[in-house]
Structure 1
């Protein structure tokens, strides 16, 4: 009976959806690698099947979706710029 009850829960009430789990994994990986200049491209492709640019886009989407804490956002911002510029090169307009 309990298994049937769990299956009837709407998606937004399930303990952790696949999307939310992936969002948290992306944030965690990005945060772990932040002190080292960011996640290596090979690891983002191997783990999530995406390019660096796709990873950064997904990261900021995950930050929004999970309402990530300010200290984590502060740590991620200089390493994973939202505007597509390189984190260690000034943006030239």
Structure 2
């Protein structure tokens, strides 16, 4: 067993067992506000995952091979001389 997890892992396992068996009950409770915060964190995580999925949806479909990558169109910008005195310049 020591060879599989290594000496550091074995020491960590022994320490975890000692800490886990030596603790006593906390005699505490969770009030309704704690449950509300836990629910908000879970819903926020789901909303974040859905938003990330929406933002990267086309990239995900391209990686999976469902949709091809659209060809890029290049727009050449033409610099124009626009100003109040543009007609008087030479």
Considering the TM-score relative to the shorter chain, is it more than 0.5?
no
Q: TM-score, normalised by structure 1?
A: 0.24
Larger RCO (CA under 8 A, 6+ residues apart): 1
Q: TM-score, normalised by structure 2?
A: 0.25
Structure possessing the higher radius of gyration over alpha carbons: 2
